[in-house]
Amino acid sequence: MDYRKAFEEIVSQQLARVERLKKDTEAVDYKKLDCIRIGIIGGDGIGPAITAHAQRILEELLKEPVKAGKVEFKVIDGLTIENRAACGKAIPDDVMEEIKSCHVLLKGPTTTPRKGDKWGNIESANVAMRKALDLFANVRPVKIPEDDIDWTFFRENTECLYAMGSQGVDISDDLAIDFRVITNPGTERIARQAFEYAKNNGKTRVSIVTKANIVKKTDGKFLEVCKKVAEDYPGIEVDDWYIDIMTAKLIDPKRRSQFQVLILPNLYGDILTDEAAEFQGGVGTAGSANIGNRYAMFEAIHGSAPRMVEEGREMYADPSSVIRAAAMLLSHIGYQKESDQLAKALDICTVTEKKIQITGKPDGATGAQLADYILETIRSLSL
C-alpha cells in the first residue's frame, strides 16, 4: 500500500468537507412545510419491536395533524444487518433514498459488526447516516429531579474518531493506525447550538470536555473554538474539564448537580452519555436526537440486543428509550404540547407511579403493555 497516497486522499476529502460545511448553513423551518414526513426505521434485533410501540404512540398523539394532511408516516424497511451485509454497504442505496425522502426519522438500534464478525467490515449505519445527512449534533438529556440532576449533552456527531472508523489502515502485522479529525466549522456549529440552547432555556453554565492537555492538536482545536464561540454569550459561565476527571465528577454527589450543558467531541460524548444514562435507569431508558440543518434523526441509544431475539424475548424489550426519543422528535417539529404530554406520561409510568415493570423477561411486562400504560396515562392527563 502507498501510505502517503492514502493519507493525501484522506486529507483532500476532509479539506473538501470543510469547504462544504462553510457553505451549508441554512436550516429547515418545519412551520413552512405543507406536510412533515416522519420515517420509521425498525433496525435490527429488538429494534422493530420497540419502534413499533413508539410509532403507535406517535400516531395517537398526531392523529389530528395526520387527518389534516400536515403529518404523514413512512415505514422504511431494509436497514437490517442482513441486508446491509448482502449489499456490502452501511446503508443500501434504495434505503438511503427512502431516508432522504423524509424530514425526520425515528430509528431503532442497528447492529455494527466487530472485526472478525461474519458480517464483514461494514461501517456503522448510525455513523453513515450522520455523515450522509450531516446530523452534526447528538443531543442527549438526562434529568433526575430528586438527585438535582439536569444535564444536556451536546456531542459532536460527524468528526473525531468515529467519522473515519472504517478508513484506518494496517501498516503491518504489528502496526495499525486510525485517524481522528476535528475542524473549525464542525466544532463551531456544535458549540453554537449548545450555547443557543443554554441561552434559550435559562441555563447558566456550559462545560467543555476534552483531553486537550494530551491530545493537543485535535482536542486543542475543539477547546479553542468552543471558547471562541463562548465569547458571544457573556451571560453564560464557561468551564472546561478533561474527560477522565469528568467521568469521576458525574458520580460525585457534591459536584454533579453543578453541571448543566456539556459540549464534547464524538468519542468522549458517546462514553459520557452512557455513564450519565445509568442515573435514570440505564441506556435502555435514554433517547437521543441527531440534528442537522436539513434532517433530524431520533433514536434509542442502546444496542440491538440480538440475544433477546435469539431467545424469543423481544416482546419483553423495554421501549422507553425510543419512546423518549419520540418525545424529542415531537418537540423538534413543533408539537411541544404533545411532546410534554408524552414526556410527563413516560416519567409517571417508568419513574414515579410505575404500576408495571419491564425486566426483559417473562416475569415482567411486555413492551406492548408499557405502551398501553403510557397511552392510558396520556389520555388521563388530557382530561
The Cα diameter of the chain in Å comes to 69
Q: Counting Cβ atoms within 10 Å, is residue 242 exposed (0-12), middle (13-18) or buried (19+)?
A: middle
Chosen CATH of 33-135+292-383 out of 3.20.20.140, 3.50.50.60, 3.40.718.10, 3.40.50.300: 3.40.718.10
Domains 33-135+292-383 and 138-280 in one fold: yes
Residue 213 grid cell = 492537555
Q: What phi and psi, each to the nearest 5 degrees, are found at residue 317? A: -70, 145
Candidates 138, 162, 160; CA nearest to 273 is: 138
Candidates 376, 369, 370; CA nearest to 285 is: 370
CA dihedral 137, 65, 96, 109 (to 10 degrees): 60
Q: What ranges do the domains of the chain cover?
A: 33-135+292-383, 138-280
Chosen CATH of 138-280 out of 3.40.718.10, 2.30.30.90, 3.30.429.10, 3.40.980.10: 3.40.718.10
Give pLDDT tens digits for 157-205: 889 887 777 778 888 889 988 889 999 999 999 999 999 999 988 999 9
| Cα–Cα distance measured from residue 129 to residue 303, given in angstroms and rounded to the nearest whole number | 16
From start to end of 45-136, where are the E strands? Answer: 71-76, 104-107
Residues 6+ apart with CB under 8 A from 340: none
| Cα–Cα distance measured from residue 285 to residue 198, given in angstroms and rounded to the nearest whole number | 24
Alpha-carbon radius of gyration of the chain: 21
Do β-strands 137-144 and 149-156 pair in parallel, antiparallel, or remain unpaired? Answer: antiparallel
User: What percent helix, strand, coil does the chain show, rounded to 5?
Assistant: 50, 15, 35
Residue 334 grid cell = 413543533
Residue 243 grid cell = 474527560
- Angle made by CA atoms 122, 322, 41, in degrees to the nearest 5: 50
Tell me the CA distances in angstroms from 299 to 41, 172, 276, one per residue in order.
9, 38, 17
| Cα–Cα distance measured from residue 67 to residue 271, given in angstroms and rounded to the nearest whole number | 42
Residues 6+ apart with CB under 8 A from 383: none
| pLDDT by 10s per residue, the chain, length 383 | 677 888 888 889 889 988 988 888 788 899 899 999 999 999 999 999 999 999 999 999 999 999 999 999 999 999 999 999 999 899 999 999 999 999 999 999 998 877 767 777 778 898 889 889 999 999 998 888 888 999 999 999 889 887 777 778 888 889 988 889 999 999 999 999 999 999 988 999 999 999 999 999 999 999 999 999 999 999 999 999 999 999 999 999 999 999 999 999 999 998 999 899 888 776 666 778 999 999 999 998 788 998 999 999 999 999 999 999 999 999 999 999 999 999 999 989 988 898 999 999 999 999 999 999 999 999 998 76
